[in-house]
Chains A and B, each alone.
Chain A
Amino acid sequence: MKLITAVIKPFKLDEVKTALKGAGVQGMTVTEVQGFGRQSGHTEVYRGAEYTVDFVPKIKIELLVDDGVADGVVEALAAAARTDKIGDGKVWITDVDAVQRIRTGEKGPDAI
């Protein structure tokens, strides 16, 4: 089993969700996060005073998938999240040792 984690532009969330559903994903967890990469931050001006905001708002998506579909899901996610401009984010895959569905106690791939 794999954990796919992606950090994307917030306005791309709807498109990414639709694409992931299309790729057969059953569920996901979404968090509002902040951070910076090569895009870096931005500046804001209040009464002539300039403030640098280092951390840019992003959306983090986490989903558990079976080993076989992980690469396909990542491709679908990346295609939907891409704008070809700086700040599109990243997606990565992590190995997962164990998963359990809390309601039924099912374990392993059955729990996904």
Chain B
Amino acid sequence: MESGDAAWVMVSAALVLFMTPGLAFFYGGMDRSRNVLNMLMMNFWCLLIVPIVWALGGFSLAQVPFENDFIGNFDQAFMRGFGIGEDNGGSLIIMVFLGMFAVITPALISGAVADRMKFSAWALFVPLWLVLVFVPVFKWVYGGWLGQRGSLDFAGGTAIHVNAGIAALAAVLVLGKRKGWPTEGHPPHSMPLVMLGTGILWFGWFGFNAGSALAANGQAIQAFTNTFLAAAAAGLAWAVVERLRDGHFTNLGAASGVVAGLVAITPGAGFVAGMAPIYIGLIAGVVCCFAVGLKTKAGYDDALDVVGVHFVGGLVGSLLIGFFSQPEFFGGEFKAGLFHDGGASLLGEQALANGVTIVYCFIVTTIIMLALKATIGVRVSDEVEDSGLDLAEHAETAYHSGSATLTGS
């Protein structure tokens, strides 16, 4: 790897790492004040456990060798086979960069299970889900059979957002609804935290998308540009829909739209150009704004709308590549979309890749959750749900108003 490319991928990896605390604030602000620390810790847990699992064998199973249909091997497990001589550390930094994606993918699911999942169950769910769902799907999409058929996923629309979104749905169906939902209200406890988290996510997403070129080149710059435009367009679209439908421009609408746009442009970031990111953003903003209302109609308690934003946004963005993919702009060897004389072939591959991911992820996530439910249990007690998870699960309180006495050390 050339020094300029290496520098950009290192910076990008750090940017993607920053997204997980950003996501924690985005979710934490929307959560109730008595559960905000539990939400932050569910996200930070991914930062603690996933890098270790990734080094022990997660990366090797997901990527080694690259051209392998269904699953990798253990050749690069336990950090074997990484040098800094031959390729200037290129394979090492790619392992780290992809590890950041492995961190944030299970973290995305935390928003759905908020307010009632036992932390011990979450602590086991993350590594199990990573190895049994994330790793194989990642393999199929990047280098594996779905990728070889010609489906496209630049930075993780299918492998990350659709995957995490459908896992969120499967998880809450096993976990059950929060007490009192949907009649009892749970408004966000801190909108400023939500806005801060959104800003961190958008900032970090430049590394997520433009870093996925794995080089400091023109494709990276186009992905960077798409990340800039799609998020703005989707935030604008969501905010305008709420203004027309509900009467106000809301902070949460703007923030949710920005995140929906970032999700939707992720799969196509390095395959679309020109006005396409703006069209993709506008479509995702409107669709996701209505999609978050589905949960009350369908009766699944996806607390912070992981399905409505990540699953729907990821799916919309992934399918829209079937229309907007423009290989001649990039001088690339990938399928063109319907609007660029490519016919419907790419759209079919996108539908297949997402369909396979949805079915596999839903089934395996359900099995993991049912296994946890049958063994250690997945739900906190009614009393803990009422009094808050921060104190019961972590012995901490987010916002102190009184004093405390040191009684042991």
Contact = CB atoms under 8 A, between A and B. Distances in A.
Interface string B276-289: 00000000000001
B400 interface: no
10 residue pairs, one from A and one from B, having the closest CB atoms: A51-B185, A51-B187, A45-B246, A47-B292, A46-B252, A46-B187, A48-B293, A47-B252, A44-B187, A46-B188
Contact of B253 (A44, A47, A51): A47
A52 interface: yes
A49 B256 CA distance: 14
Contacts of A45: 242, 246-248, 250
Contact of A48 (B185, B188, B246): B246
B305 interface: yes
Contacts of B188: 46
Interface in B217-269: 242, 245-248, 250, 252-253, 256
Contacts of B246: 45, 48
Contacts of B242: 45, 48
Interface residues on B, range: 10 to 19
A51 B296 CA distance: 14
Given A46-B187, A49-B296, 17 more contacts: A45-B246, A45-B247, A45-B248, A45-B250, A46-B188, A46-B250, A46-B252, A47-B253, A47-B256, A47-B292, A47-B293, A48-B242, A48-B246, A48-B293, A49-B185, A52-B185, A53-B187
Interface in A22-78: 44-49, 51-53
Interface residues of A, number: 9
A45 B256 CA distance: 14
Contacts of B292: 47-48
Nearest to A53: B187
11 contacts: A45-B246, A45-B248, A46-B252, A47-B253, A47-B289, A47-B305, A48-B242, A48-B292, A49-B296, A51-B185, A53-B187
A47 B305 CA distance: 9
A52 B242 CA distance: 18
A46 B251 CA distance: 9
Nearest to B305: A47
A53 B185 CA distance: 9
Contacts of B293: 47-48
A75 to B, nearest CB: 35
Contacts of A49: 185, 296
Contacts of A52: 185
Nearest to B293: A48
A52 B256 CA distance: 21
A45 B227 CA distance: 28
A78 to B, nearest CB: 31
A57 to B, nearest CB: 15
A46 B190 CA distance: 12
Interface string B293-306: 10010000000010
A46 B292 CA distance: 11
A25 to B, nearest CB: 28
Contacts of B250: 45-46
Contacts of B187: 44, 46, 51, 53
B323 to A, nearest CB: 27
Contacts of A46: 187-188, 250, 252
Nearest to A47: B292
Contact of B289 (A44, A48, A51): A48
A53 B247 CA distance: 18
B286 to A, nearest CB: 13
B306 to A, nearest CB: 13
